[in-house]
Amino acid sequence: MDLLEVKNISKTYGTGEATVHALKDATFSVPKGEFVAVVGESGSGKSTLLNMIGALDTPTSGKVFIDGKDIFSMKERNLTVFRRRNIGFIFQSFNLIPELTVEQNIIFPVLLDYQKPNKKYLEELLTVLGLKERRRHLPSQLSGGQQQRVAIGRALITRPALILADEPTGNLDTQNTSEVIALLKEASRLYEQTIVMITHSQSIAQTADRILRVSDGVVTDLGRCKE
Ligand SMILES: Nc1ncnc2c1ncn2[C@@H]1O[C@H](COP(=O)(O)OP(=O)(O)O)[C@@H](O)[C@H]1O
Ligand SMILES: [Mg+2]
């Protein structure tokens, strides 16, 4: 079964003269463990698509299934818990909590879920992310690349089946960009996580398993890049 199924999703913003058809009848699916790049011009509907998949916003019509579950049929409360446990978000802006240390920021989603963090996995993550020596630092004491790695750690700590990333390397230099991409790929390989990542970079897109192109709200599945 595919981990992610998007069925006839449309999203219209505004009414009358101000109507924007941001997404038009998007349909595609992604097998478990695949790394998908989403490309397209600015304003084409990429973020809208990602926000629908992550249930951060509701579509005007259509359905999204994650691990076979029809997410928009869930009650708000159940959806919140489902999202917290199954989806990891990474945005271009890191959205770290300034008063919390690196380690506290990473385990935050686990605490929100009234769980205890898995100590072994936390150590593993801090090592892979190169943040071991920085665990007690505050975000303001870190470089941009390090802050983004904290945000990635926070997205991975719950071992979500699905990782949604909206231009996660948009604020990073070339060196940090390749490190962050390598990290995400390693995570998807190690834990069979599915990644959907919006990127402006042609070279990053070329390394994905599959490319989705969004053009004026129309999503085209360009298929698997390699076998
Ligand atoms: N909350 C909103 N209200 C009205 N229009 C929006 C909203 N969000 C996005 N749009 C419009 O939908 C279209 C797609 O936007 P978006 O998904 O952010 O594009 P992208 O991420 O590809 O740059 C744009 O025309 C944008 O102006
Ligand atoms: Mg966008």
Query: pLDDT tens-digit profile of 3-37?
Result: 999 999 999 999 999 999 999 999 999 999 999 99
Domains of the chain are 29-59+69-224 (3.40.50.300)
Residues having C-beta closer than 5 Å to ion ligand 2: 47
Return mean pLDDT, the chain: 93
- Residue 217, ligand 1, Cβ within 6 A: no
- Residue 86 near residue 74, CB atoms below 8 Å: no
Quick: pLDDT tens for 37-87: 999 999 999 999 999 999 999 999 999 999 999 999 999 999 999 999 999
User: Is the Cα dihedral 92, 97, 99, 101 positive or negative?
Assistant: negative
| pTM assigned to the model | 0.93
Residue 91 Cα to chain centre, angstroms: 7
Residue 140: pLDDT above 70? Answer: yes
SS3 state at 15: coil
C-beta neighbour count of 174 within 10 angstroms:
10
Please list, in sequence order, all residues whose beta carbon lies within 8 angstroms of the beta carbon of residue 51, skipping any fewer than 6 positions away. Answer: 57
Residue 2 Cα, ligand 1 centroid: separation in angstroms? 27
- Residue 43, ligand 1, Cβ within 6 A: yes
- Residue 46 near residue 195, CB atoms below 8 Å: no
Instruction: Give the Cα separation of 114 and 103 in Å (integer).
Output: 17
- Residue 53 near residue 61, CB atoms below 8 Å: no
Q: Whose CA is nearest to atom 8 of ligand 1?
A: 48
Q: Of the given ranges (50-59, 92-101, 169-178, 202-211), which has the lowest mean pLDDT?
A: 169-178
Quick: pLDDT tens for 85-95: 999 999 888 89
In sequence order, what are the beta bridge partners of 69?
Answer: 66
Residue 212 Cα, ligand 1 centroid: separation in angstroms? 17
The token pair that represents 124 in the structure block: 């593993």
